[in-house]
Structure 1
Amino acid sequence: MIGRIGLSRVLTRGLSSGEAAKLTIQPAIERSPTDLLNALSETVGPDTTAPHFAYIDDPITIPSTQSAKKTYFMAKEFGKRAARELATEWPTLFAFDRDQPRLPAFRPQHLADPLQVDPTEKSLQKMIKSREVQDSCVLYERLRSENVEVSEKVQLELFRLVAYYNSSNIPFSEWQEWAGIRNFGEESNAKWKTGGVADLLFETLQKTDETVSIMIAALCKFHDSQSVERAKELYKEHQKGKIHLEAFNGLIGASSFNAAKKLAAEMNCLKISPNISTFNALLFSAAKIPKYEEKIKAFSEIIAEIRELDMEPALSCYYIIVKNLIDSKLLDKEKRAENEEQSYNKQLTLAVSWISEILNEIEGK
C-alpha cells in the first residue's frame, strides 16, 4: 500500500512540475442535412426474399394474384397523384411545414401557363427543355402572333421536340415518375399531324441535312400512307445531301422488304454504319412479307448479317421475330379453318425451335 502511494506521489509531482499537455481540438466537419441519410442508405441493401416494395405497407394487404397486384399498385400511385394535386391547388395548407431539408417534391407547382408567361424566347427555351410539347407549341404561336423574334437556334430546338413527339405531350411510356401509368397506360398510335407546328417550322428553317433527316424520321415514326409517301419524296429531293442514320432507319421500317434492302445498300454506298435500330427496322419490314417461308428466311438473313458485322442481336430484335413467328390469322382457334390446322402446327413447331435457339443464345452470354 505504501509503495503504491509513494509511486502515485512521484507521478503527480512529475506531472505538476512539467509543462501542461496541449490538447488540439479538430475543426468540425461540415455535413449537409442529408449526409446521415445517405450513410444509412449505403448500409442497407435490398431484401430479395421480401415482396415488392410497393406492397409492404401491411402484410395483410400483400396481394397474391397479378390482377390484385396491379389494382393495389395503381391505387397507391393514384393516391400519390391526388395528394400531389391537392398540394398544388392549395399550397397555403402546407405553408407552416418546417421540414429540413426542404424537399421540392412535397411542394409541387403548376406548370407555367403558355398564355400567361412572358412572351420571350427565354420562356420558350425553358418549356422546350422541360419537354412541355403542347405548351411550347402554344407559346411559339403566341410569339409569332405578337411579332416576337425567335432565333433560328431555338426554332431548331423546338422543331426537334415537336417532330419527335408529333406536337403531342410525351407518351406514357416515357413517364419517369409514375411507373404504374408508364407500364399499364394505353398508348395511341397517332398519325402525323399535317399542318401543325412541325410543318410550319420545317418550311421556315433551312433545308439542311439535319432538318430534312428530322422530318423524314418523324414522318416515318407517325406514319400512314400519305406521310410515308411524303418522306420518300423528301428523300428523293435531298439526293445531293446526306441524310442521317435515323432517317434511313425510319424509311427502312416503313418500306417493304425489297425497298428496305435497297435503302440498306444505299447506306453502304454512303458509308453510313448501321446500328441495332437499323436491323430492327429491317425486321419490321421483313415481317410484312406475305409468304410465311420467305418471311422466316428474311429473319434468318438479317440475324446472320448482324453477326457478320461482329454485332450481337438485341432483345428487341428477338422480340420482333417472336411476335411474327406465327401468322396472326391462325392464332384464333375458332376462326381457323380445318385446312389451316396443318399450317398452324407447322408454324408452331418452327416457332418453338426458334424460341429454343433464342433462349440458348441469351443464356450463353
Structure 2
Amino acid sequence: MYSNIILPRQWSRIACFCRLSTIEGQKLPQSGKSSDGISPPPRIPRGPTDILQALAATVGPDPTAAHYKYHDDPYLIPLSNYRKRAYALSAEAGRKAAAWIRDEHASLFNTREWDPPSKLKTPYYNADPIIDAFEPKPIYNEESKVTEEDLKYTINNALLDDSIKIFQLLGGIENISEETKLALLQFLCFYNEKEPDSMEWLEERWFSANVRERQLATWKLGGLADKIFASIEPKTPEAYCAVIQGMAKHYQAERAHALSQEAIEKGIPLSTEVFNSLLACVGFLREGTALRAEALKGLLTQMGEQGLSPNEETLTACLRSISSWGGGKMLQELALQVVAEFKQLGIQPGLSAYYYLLCLFCKERGPRIDILSGILVDLENRENLDAKEPTDTNFFITAMGVCSDHLQDINMAERVHALLMKGDNYKLVGDAYKESIYYRHLVTVACRHAPFERTTELLDTLVPNVYVPEPSVMEEIIKTLEVAGAGERLAQAWSQLVVFGIAKRVRLVERLLSAMSSTYEYQTEEVKGKMRDAAADILKFGKIAENEQNAKDLRTPVQKLSANAVSNIVELCSDVKDTADANWDAVSEGIQRLKQSDATGVPSRPQALADVALRAATAGKLGIAASAVQYLAECGFEEAVPASIQALGAVLNRPQEEVETLLEKQRADLTKAVHPSALALVDAYYLAKTGAPAREADSSTSSDSDSESSSDDE
C-alpha cells in the first residue's frame, strides 16, 4: 500500500545517482574553458600505484624498521647477517618447493579429480586472471607433438633447453622459417647455449658470493649457433650482428673482429651495439698499451666511416676496456680524452662510465687523485639517476670505497650517501652483498674521520636493521668508542656482539675488554656497574661455549681468551666494596682460569693483579687475594712480593714495616701470631720470595742451620 509513496530523502538520492551516472558517461575535458567561465585543469594520467607512492613520499623511509621481507615482529626480526641470510633463503626455499610441486605434478593444476572419466582431461585453471608465470611449464620429450609456435613460445620465455629440444623435434634447420631461425640464433648467441639463471629466485642471487667475472673465452665453438649462422643464406645484417655480439660478449674477440671485417667488406651494415661489444673486448686483440689504444681509436674511426652515431654505451665500452688494461698516466689521459670528445657530441657519462673512471684513477696503492668530486658535481645536478647497464650498481659501492680507502674524506662520503638517498636512487645500491660492502665503507670512514657525535648518530640510524657490522668494522667501532671514552656504549657493544653472532671472535672480545679497561676509571658509578656486568657476562659466555664444545665434541676447538683479557675481567669485576657482590665470583673464577692455564700467555700488566689482591684483602676475600698473589709468584713476577706484603697489611691492619718484620720469622712461629685465614698470604709471600712453598723453605733453612752448628762443634 506504500509502494507509490517516495520520501523526499529518497528523491534526493535518486537525483544524486542520476547526476553521477551522467557525469561518468561523459568524457572529461582535457583542457579549455566551459561556458560558465570555470576552467578545469588538464587531466593527468595516473597509474594504479601512484596514490600509494604519494602517501609513501609524505612519510619517508624509516631506517630503523626491518626490511619488508622479514616479519614485523621484534621477536622474529633477524639481527645478524647469518640470520638475515637464513630467513630470506628459507622463505625462498619454500617458494622453490612450491615451484617444484607445480612442475613435477602439473596435472594437479590442470585437471579436476572429481570430474567424471569422460571429462577428466578438461582444462581447469585455478587462478583468475590466469598468470602465465605461475602456470606449470610444458614438458617436451621424444613423443611430444610440437609446432613452430612452441619454439617461439620457449624463445620468448627464455627456455633454452626446451628451445633446443623442440628445434630437434621439428627436424632441424630446414623445417623452420627464416624469422624463427634468426630469433633462435639471437637467443643462442645471447646465452651461449647455456640455460640462463632463473630471474625468479631473487634472494639466492642477492646473497650469493659476488665473484668477479673472469674474462675468458667461453664461446662454444662449432655449436648450434655457428651451425644456424652458416645455414643462413644470404647472410643478413641481423645474423651478423647476433653472432658478433655473442662472440664479443663471451670474449671470442678475434673471431668476432674477423666477422665484423668480413661484414664490412661485403657491404653489410652493422649496428652501434656491435661496435660497442667490439670496443669492450678490444684489449684481447693486441698486446701493450700503445697497440691497444691504437686499436680502440681504429674501431671508433671505423664506426664513423660506417655512419653510425655513438651513444652512452659506446663511451662505457671504451672506458671499460681502458680500465682493464692496468693503470698509469697514459691510460688516464686517454680516458679523459675519450670523455671530452664524447661530451662534445652531447653524450654525458653514465654511472657505469664513472665507475670505470674511478677504477682507473683511484687505485688502492696509487697516488691520491680527487676525481670523485667532479663526478659528484655532475650527478648532483641531474634530476634522477636511471639504471641503464648492469654495472651501474657498481658506482656507489666503488665511490664509497674511494672515500674510505683512497681519499679518506668523510665529507665526500656524506655527499655520496646523500646522492644515494636522493629520490629513487637507492635502487642503484645493488644486491644485499653490495649493500653490505657499501655500508662497511661508510661506517669505517665515519669511525676514522668523522666527529664522534656524527659517528654515533650514523650508527644509531643504520645498526642493526639496515646494516650489521662485520667483525673488522666492529673493531673500528670499538676503537672509536675507546678514544671517545664512551663507557656505556662499550658496555652495550658486548650485547651487540652476542646479538650479531660474533661473540665467539676472541680477538674482537679481547679488543673490547682492553677498551673497557682503559676507559673504566673515567666513568660514573652507574656506567662502571654496567661495564663490570658486561665483563662478568663475557666470562660466563666463554664458559658456556666451552661446555657446548665438550657436549657436542666439536672438531674445531673454541678459542680461549688470552691472559690479558682474563686479567682485564678480573680487574674490572674486583672494583666493588660489597663483599656479597656477585662480581667476586667472576673474580675468583677468572683467577682460577689463570692458574689452571685456561688462558693463553701471561698478563702484560701484573700490577693489575697486585691491585686486585689488595682490593680482595681489604674486602675480606682472603682466598681471592692469596690466589692472585700465588699466581704472580708462580709466574715469577716481581710484583708478587710487594703485593703479598700490602695484602697482609690490609688484613692485619698494620703498616708495611711491621709486616716485613713479621715475615722475617719462621712460618712455624707465624702460625700462632697470624690468623689462620691470613696464612695463605704468608705462603704466597714465601713462594714469591724463595720460589718454593713455605714449608719447604722452612725445612731447607733448618737443615742449613743444623749443618752449621755441627761444623762449629767440630
Tell me the TM-score range normalised by the shorter chain.
0.7 to 0.9
Aligned residues: 312
| Residues 363/285 of structure 1: CA separation in 2 closer, same or farther (3 Å cut) | same
Match in the other structure for 1:237: 262
Q: Which residue of 2 aligns with 1:153?
A: 179
Q: Which amino acid aligns with 2:379?
A: I
Per-residue CA distance 1:251-310 (angstroms, 9 max, x = gap): 111113321111111111222011111111111221243451112112212222232112
Deviates more, 1:202-211 or 1:186-195: 186-195
1:180 lines up with 2:203 in the alignment: yes
Which protein has greater RCO, CA pairs closer than 8 Å, 6+ apart? 1
Shift of 1:222: 0.4
| 1:304-326 C-alpha deviation (Å, 9 max, x unpaired) | 22321122211111122223335
**Deviation per CA, 1:147-178, whole angstroms, max 9, x where unpaired?**
87111111011111111111122245xx1x33
Structure 1 residues 138 and 259: alpha-carbon distance in aligned structure 2, compared to 1, 3 A threshold? same
Q: Structure 1 residues 298 and 241, CA, compared in 2 at 3 Å: closer, same or farther? A: same
Counterparts of 1:67 and 1:194, CA distance in 2: 42
RMSD: 3.5
SS in 2 for 1:324: helix
How do 1:278-293 and structure 2 match up within 5 A?
278-293=314-329
Are 1:124 and 1:140, in contact at CA under 8 Å, matched by a contact in 2? Answer: yes
> Larger deviation: 186-195 or 78-87?
186-195
State, as a whole percentage, how many aligned pairs show the same letter.
25
Q: Distance in 2 between matches of 1:105 and 1:271?
A: 43
CA contact (8 A) 1:253 1:281 kept: yes
Residue identity opposite 2:75 in structure 1 = I
Query: Which amino acid is 2:196 matched to?
Result: I
Cα shift readout 1:205-230 (whole Å, capped 9, x = no counterpart):
1312221121111110001xxx2111
Partner of residue 80, structure 1: 95
3-state SS of 1:202 partner: helix
Match 1:123 to one of 115, 140, 150: 150
Aligned counterpart for 1:317 among listed residues 348, 353, 356: 353
* 1:209 aligned onto 2:234: no
Q: Which moved more, 1:132-141 or 1:317-326?
A: 317-326
Q: 1:359 to 1:70 in 2, by over 3 A?
A: farther
2:74 equivalent in structure 1: 59
- Bigger mean CA deviation after superposition, 274-283 or 131-140: 131-140
C-alpha change, 1:55 and 1:103, in structure 2 (3 Å) is farther
Q: Partners in 1 of 2:127 and 2:278 — Cα distance?
A: 53
CA contact (8 A) 2:326 2:360 kept: no
Cα deviations across residues 11-38 of structure 1 (Å, max 9, x unaligned)? xxxx89xxxx8968879x9xxxxxxxx9
Q: Distance in 2 between matches of 1:84 and 1:315?
A: 36
* Structure 1 residue aligned with 2:374: 357
Distance 1:309-1:70 versus aligned 2 partners, 3 A rule: farther
Matched, 1:273 2:296: no
Q: 1:142 aligns with which of 158, 166, 169?
A: 169
Larger Rg belongs to:
2
More off after superposition, 50-59 vs 234-243: 50-59
Go from structure 1 to structure 2 and tell me whether the alpha carbon gap of 1:114 and 1:260 turns closer, same or farther (over 3 Å shift): farther
- In structure 1, C-alpha distance between the alignment counterparts of 2:374 and 2:80, rounded to whole Å: 31
* Deviation at residue 106 of structure 1 after TM alignment: 9.9
The C-alpha deviation readout for 1:107-166, integer Å capped at 9, x for no partner, is: 641343254532321221111121112221222123226x87111111011111111111
Aligned counterparts of 1:86 and 1:65: Cα–Cα separation in 2 = 32
Distance, in Å, in 1 between the alignment partners of 2:322 and 2:170 is 45
Q: TM-score of the superposition, structure 2-length normalised?
A: 0.39
Change (3 A) 1:118 1:100: closer
The one-letter code of the counterpart of 2:160 is V
Q: Distance in 2 between matches of 1:292 and 1:268?
A: 28
- Range 86-95 or range 122-131, more displaced: 86-95
**CA pair 138-262 structure 1, distance change in 2 beyond 3 A:** same
User: Per-residue deviation at 1:198?
Assistant: 0.6
| 1:69-112 superposed Cα distances (whole Å, 9 cap, x missing partner) | 33322221122211232344346777699987466489641343
The TM-score, its normalising length taken from structure 1, stands at 0.73
Change in Cα spacing, 1:90 to 1:58, as seen in structure 2 (3 Å) is farther
Structure-2 separation of matches of 1:81 and 1:263: 46
SS in 1 for 2:361: coil
Q: Distance in 2 between matches of 1:43 and 1:141?
A: 49
- Is residue 66–residue 72 contact of structure 2 (8 Å, CA) maintained in 1? no
Task: Name the amino acid aligned to 1:71.
Answer: A
Deviation (angstroms), 1:41 = 9.8
Corresponding letter in the other structure for 2:92: E
| Corresponding residue for residue 163 of structure 1 | 189
Q: Does 1:71 align with 2:97?
A: no
